[in-house]
Amino acid sequence: MAVSPSSSPTATRKRPARKVSPTGSWTRALAEPAREFAPTAIETIAGMLPTGLRGALYRNGPARLQRGDRWVGHWFDGDGAVLRVNFDGRDARAVYRFVQTEAYRRDAASETWTQGSYGMKAPQATLTQPVRQRLRHPANTSVLALPDRVLALWEQGHPYVLDPETLETKGRDSLSLADGQPYAAHYKRDPETGEIFNFGVTYGLRTCLNVYCSDRQGRIDRQSKIPLSGLPLIHDCLLAGPYLVFFVAPVRLDLLPVLTNQICFGDALRWKPQFGTQILVLDRETLTVISRGETDPFYSWHFGNGYVDAEGNIVGDMVRYNDFATNRYLQQVGQLDPHTEARGTLWQFRLDPQTGAMLGSVELADTCGEFPIVAPSCVGRYARRTYMSAFRPGSDVARDLWSTIACFDRDTGELTVAELGAHRYAIEPTYAPDADRPDLGWLLTVVYDSREHRSEVWIYAADRLGDAPVCRLSLPEVIPMGYHGCWAPNPKKCG
């Protein structure tokens, strides 16, 4: 692990007028930088903690969108902060800390943003400077809990190591990868072997997809490099039995304006529907390409899960968009003023792994949502239930933010949406297996109550999302809405 310093001032967008509804809304949670707190016992305010809920919830997301009088250019730019909530079957304790990245420390010392990012131009860049060096590392997208450490993940760099109990930042971990091999945020962990599959896109004249397989300790034991045409944006992958699947949507980076520092990375991503959506199917053992296919143009940030059916075909689900308007919507979320409609809904697809041909696809539910997940024991295998964030029924998807959680049941074909009540917003759900009964599981989410301006942890029975939560716990500070998290069973005690 090593820390390499660099610094230079940058011009960024000035903060817009704060757009906070007088009656309260999700914008209140993002309008001010989050406040850290030390390991603290948290109070149960309703219900009871399940005795089989033993482990730790980790959550990551952008928690600071402002430095001095400057505001980020995109929601993706904010400084990452990680929440840990530890459960021992009787009590719960929580800790919340910013990831002390090199960029975070530099910016804190200068009291402004000192580097370019996804939504901000790089300062004083040269034509020969690689794309990844133009982007500040916010460590704000996801977390990977390993036996001895927690990794804060981002798209275009190596992860930052956190102490699993205190969340103290220990530095960067290269994972024995070269500097130009990024380790992305969307890994897939096989529940039986413990293998962790991940990837990273290297941009340049020879763009390639780096694919990695690690053991359960996080040690990379094999990797491959797959050439890519153009400069695509790949955010997630799918594990389905013996296969890894990548969809390469028709989004391409316009490299020259980025290299000449005319525009930022996010603004240089172009929707090119004429390219269609490319499909790559890999052998998970050799990490080599089995087949390549192509289908109609669409965009997807996230897969839910995949498996191989009785006919040997790959079946998977994802949140699918008709185009790339979602990027503009998320940019506007970071400006606290979304007004672009980007409807993403849950779809299921089938494809032939030997040819890469799409055999069919169908929309499972027309409710707008994001961040689909399944129980960890079902990753790469058939899962009856897919959980996801969703918009509250009747909400304006162009102006609002995901405000509840939902469950699609494949056995019944029904979508159950949790009723949180008005002015509440739930982040991506996390599935926690019961430590005593393998037939039970718990669904955890962090809920922001804009009227009370507070955050709570809500716990649902995973098979009864339509019922009231079995337990609600109050957190000592507001946790801004973020992206991804994970569950670590039976960790060390917190604090």
Full set of structural domains in the chain with CATH: 27-489 (2.130.10.10)
What's the pLDDT score for residue 495? 40
pLDDT at 235 over 80: yes
Distance, CA of 195 to CA of 212 (rounded, Å): 10
pLDDT at 396: 93
Alpha-carbon gap, residue 176 to 488, rounded angstroms = 24
- pTM higher than 0.75 for the full model? yes
Q: What mean pLDDT is reported for the chain?
A: 92
pLDDT over 80 (residue 401): yes
**The two structure tokens encoding residue 269:** 């991503």
Per-residue confidence (pLDDT) for residue 118, from 0 to 100: 95
Mean pLDDT of 190-196: 97
Give mean pLDDT, residues 243-249.
98
Residue with tokens 């590392």: 137
pLDDT in tens, 299-311: 999 999 999 999 9
State residue 123's pLDDT score: 79
Q: Which amino acid is at 290?
A: I
d(CA 400, CA 27): 9
Of 489, 487, 491, 485, nearest to 186 by C-alpha is 485
Per-residue pLDDT band for 23 (boundaries 50, 70, 90) equals very low
pLDDT surpassing 90 at residue 130:
no
Inform me whether the pLDDT recorded for 20 exceeds 90.
no
- For Cα atoms 218, 220, 223, give the angle at the middle one, nearest 5 degrees: 145
Q: How confident is the model at residue 180 (pLDDT cuts 50, 70, 90)?
A: confident
Q: What is the pLDDT of residue 4?
A: 32
Does the pLDDT of residue 492 top 80, yes or no?
no
Starting from the edge strand earliest in sequence, which strands make up the sheet with 414-417, in order? Answer: 369-373, 385-390, 404-409, 414-417
Residue 241, pLDDT above cutoff 50: yes
pLDDT over threshold 60, residue 350:
yes
Average pLDDT of span 310-315: 98
Q: What is the pLDDT of residue 491?
A: 53
If one compares 24 and 312, the residue with the highest pLDDT of the two is 312
Q: Which tokens sit at 430?
A: 């996390």
pLDDT for residue 207 is more than 70: yes
Which residues neighbour 331 within 8 Å (Cβ) at sequence distance 6 or greater? 73, 74, 75, 119, 266
- CA distances to 110, 192, 491 from 488, in Å: 36, 15, 6
Average of per-residue pLDDT across 395-406: 95
- In this predicted structure, the answer to whether residue 2 has a pLDDT above a threshold of 80 is no
Mean pLDDT within 251-263: 92
Q: Which residues contact 452 (CB under 8 A, 6 or more apart)?
A: none
pLDDT at 122: 81
pLDDT at 16 over 50: no
CA 143/CA 443 separation, integer angstroms: 17
Q: What values do phi and psi take at 110, rounded to 5? A: -90, -10
- Tokens found for residue 324: 């790339």
For the cut 80, the answer to whether the pLDDT of residue 494 exceeds it is: no
- Is 91 or 20 the better-scoring residue by pLDDT? 91
Asked whether the predicted pLDDT for residue 475 surpasses 70, the reply is yes
Residues 195-218 as b or e (16 or more Cβ within 10 Å = b): bbbbbbbbbeeebbbbbbbbeeeb
Q: 63: Cβ–Cβ under 8 A, 6 or more apart, which residues? A: 33, 34, 78, 79, 80, 81, 98, 140, 479, 480, 482
pLDDT tens readout for residues 411-427: 999 999 999 999 999 99
Tens of pLDDT along 66-112?
999 899 999 999 999 999 999 999 999 999 999 999 999 999 999 99
Model pLDDT for residues 210-229, shown as the tens digit of each residue: 999 999 999 999 999 999 99
